[in-house]
Amino acid sequence: MPDTWVEPIGLLRGRDAAAAIAADLALPLGGGPAAFTMVRLIGPGAPQAPLPLADVPEEWQAQVIALTRGAVSFAGFELTRPLVMGVLNATPDSFSDGGRHLDPRAAIAAGHAMLEAGADILDIGGESTRPGAEPVGAEEEAERVLPVIRELAKAATVSVDTRNARTMRLALEAGAEIINDVSALRHDPDAVRVAAWSECGVILMHMLGDDPRTMQQDIRYDDVALEVAQFLAERVEWAEANGIARSRIALDPGIGFGKRLKQNLEVTQRLPLLAGLGRPVVFGGSRKRWIGELSGVEAAERRVAGSVGAAVAAAQRGASILRVHDVAETIQALAVLGAAEAGAVQPVDAEPAEE
C-alpha cells in the first residue's frame, strides 16, 4: 500500500468535461462523466502544490491512470448513472425511521413505495448502527428482516445491511443479492466465508473501530480522506485474498461513522480520491446529524432538502450508488442535474400540470 497517493482535483462535469478531455486538458474521473484537470500528491512529506496533467512526473503515472478507470458494473447493474438505494430499517431504534417499519407489512409497503418512486436497490437492515446503538443478536435481527427480504426480493434487487454472518446467509437464501457490512467484514469472523461462498455483491464501509457504540468517542485523523482511502484499499486486498473477487466489491467511505461534521465534509469534498481504487463508491449521508448541523434542522425526518443536496454533491464527485431515505426527491434532483450538465431535455412521463 503506497504511503503517498495521487489525488485528482480541478473537476469538470458535463459538456465542459467532454470538451477538456477532447482538448487533452483533462482525463475522465473513474470512467466519467466527470473529469479532472490537475492532481496533487498527498501523504507524509508529500508536496501539496497541484500540477496540471501535462506536468505529472513519470512516477505518478500509474496512479493517474488508475483514477481514470471506473467500474462498469455492480450486482448486475450497468453503472451508466448514479443508482439510488432506498434505506429500509426494520428496527425500533434507527435514527430516522426507527419503529415505522418494524412490522413486516409496513416495511414491505414502504419498500414497494420506494420502488414505485424509482429506487434501483432496497437496503434492508434489522440492527441500528447509529452512534451509541446497542447491538442486536443475529437471531432477532434475522427475524426482523427475513419476511421483508423474501417479499421484496420478488420485485427488486435487495441488499441486506448486517454485520452478522448468520443474518447474511439467511438473507441471501431469502433472495438478497448484496451484503452491506458497516464493519467491512471485520465484526464476524464467519462473514467473509459467507460472502465468498455466495458470489453476491459486497459493500465494504469505513468505520473508525468496529463498534458503533464507541466509534464517535475518540475521533482523530491526520488526513481523513487519505486514511479512509487507505483503509478501503486494504480491505479490498484482504477480501480478494479471502475469495471475494474485486468485481463484486463496492466501497462506502462511511459518512457519520467515526466522523464529525468537519470530517464528513472533507470526505464528501474529496470523494474523487476513491476513484483510484477502481470500484463503485456508495455514499450514505442521508438525514444524518451532519445534515442537521449544516442546516440547523433538528428532526431527522425534516432533513430531506439537505440530504438531497448531499446526494447531488456526491454524484458530482463520482459516487455510483446513493443510499437515501428520500428516493423520489433524490431521483428528481438527479434528473435535473443530468439535464443541466448535458444541456439536453429528457422529460419524464408525468401528469399534465396546470400553469
Active centre residues (catalytic): 288, 323
**CA separation for the pair 275, 211 (Å, rounded):** 27
DSSP of 210-247: S-TTTTTSS---SSHHHHHHHHHHHHHHHHHHTT--GG
Cα 100 to the chain's mean position, in Å? 24
Residue 254 gets which letter from DSSP?
-
- CA 160-165-166 angle, to 5 degrees, is 90
248, three cell numbers: 463484486
> Would you say the C-alpha torsion 242, 244, 247, 248 has a positive or negative sign?
negative
Cα 289 from Cα 215, distance rounded (Å): 14
Is there a contact between 120 and 77 (Cβ–Cβ < 8 Å)?
yes
Residues 195 and 216: their CA atoms lie apart, in Å, by 28
| Nine-digit cell string for 277 | 481504487
Amino acid 65 reads I
Length of the chain in terms of residues written: 355
